[in-house]
Amino acid sequence: MLKKFQYDLFVIGGGAGGLASSKASALLGKKVGMADFATPSPHATTWGTGGTCVNVGCVPTKLMPFSARMGEIRKDQIAAGFSGIDSDGKHNWQQLIETVQKHIKELNVRQESSLKDHGIDYYNKFAKFIDRHTIELTDIKGEKEIISAKNIIVCVGSRPMLYQDPKLVITSEDVFQQTIAPGKTLVIGASYVGLECAGFIHGFGYDTTVLVRTRVMRNFDQEMASKVEGYMSDNGIKFTKRAQLQSIQAIDNGKRRLVKWVRDGVAEEDTYDTVLYGIGRQASTKQLNLESIGVKIDARNYKIIADDYDRTTVDNIYAIGDCCLNRLEYTPIAVMAGRKLAKRLYGDSNEIMDYADVATTIYTPIEYGCIGLSEERALQKYGQDGIKIYRSHFKPLQWGFRKRDDAKYCGGKLIVHKESDRIIGFHYVGPEAAEVTQGFAVAMKMKCTKKDFDNTVPIHPSLAEEMILMK
């Protein structure tokens, strides 16, 4: 006799991948449940439905730099003839946080309403496996209940790595909710997350330094990363490079931090109001009890090992998104992977996720959009004689209202496979990088060539035209 389960599908994790896979499955007629619980950070930061992207990732990460640019635009307004503009007006950090959080909470409500509209049972509870079909759910009061499901998808995402004494630092999760202005800030780590945070904190007028151990944005094209760094440096953000962190301690009755590091063999130190720790992320799988039921996890970063069809080592348990090994950590990828998985499970599809040529944008003070291979990876794959590189340098038309020396950092790069003429790397540094890059992502998915770009009539004047006029 077949065992009857409470749910056809149960999803653990209410982020982008969980929302997409649960809704797609419900639309295909399945009984679906979802559990989502944001364990508070060491500073008691927590949030509602929507996962990292909505609450402490993509959404606030774009709203904060957008808000920071408002201060710079005042200078352009004066040059354009507007009167009554105070170019040195002060910023109210608390008001900014309240505005951003109001928008996020509206998104949380919409997400929960959408789950209800799809007939999905939503549990704001922490989930832990008992066996391959059974899950224990625990609410914030410690009360427990047990549910069962035929299939289970794990998409719990990742959280920032913590310093040895996490109360001494904040992370990218905390900065979007703290209502006290950061003041003089040290960002430890030069990943894209660290640079985004450093960019908007400085944009609101706070002294900001980035502590760099090796390279800035080391997983990205290094020529373009140097443009981002150069722009930020020229605009007042300090970079302390080749620095090895030694210690952080509280001073002034816990109000400030004394940070010590070694650079080129020389001990250095400084004091800060805020230290933001941004050295990487770790999958949120440790407390799910996965290994006890046979799901294999990578010992280094706790990521789940899943195949191309998102199957784990237990045949009814699947995993998608940032908590999986060898997956790009990016919200739209989790969304698409979740929908494709649902259609494979309950529809008539056998299509798997294609992780090649995924477009992304970094919301640093000067934005960076890219698709495909970096120059370093292209050289590694095809060799110097196998590729051809085109570059452009330009000054955005909208930057013409006033004298600016930082336009030298705007530029584009196309990496072309010589034999096929196919564009295998697209890189743009300048304003509105996401809007410029998105359309080209479609072309690259269709395996466009440099000749295709050459035969395209550009929109003029535009930023995007710089990417198709390279000779």
Active site residues: 460
The per-residue DSSP string of 142-193 comes to S-EEEEEEEEEEE---EEE---SSGGG-B-HHHHTT--S---SEEEE--SHH
Cα separations in angstroms, 360 against 220, 288, 436, 441: 11, 30, 11, 9
Q: Which of 137, 144, 135, 161 is nearest to 290 (CA)?
A: 135
Residue 170 φ/ψ, nearest 5 degrees: -115, 170
Query: What is 17-43 written as a DSSP string?
Result: HHHHHHHHHHHTT--EEEE---PPPTT
Handedness of CA 284, 287, 289, 294 (dihedral sign): positive
DSSP letter, residue 119 = T
Name the pairing type of β-strands 256-263 and 243-251: antiparallel
> What does the longest C-alpha to C-alpha distance in the chain come to?
80
Q: Are 18 and 11 in contact (CB under 8 A)?
A: yes
Q: Of all helices (H) and strands (E), which one includes residue 369?
A: strand 367-372
Distance of alpha carbon 286 from alpha carbon 456, whole angstroms: 51
Which residues, at least 6 apart from 25, have a Cβ–Cβ distance to it below 8 Å? 8, 9, 32, 342, 345, 346
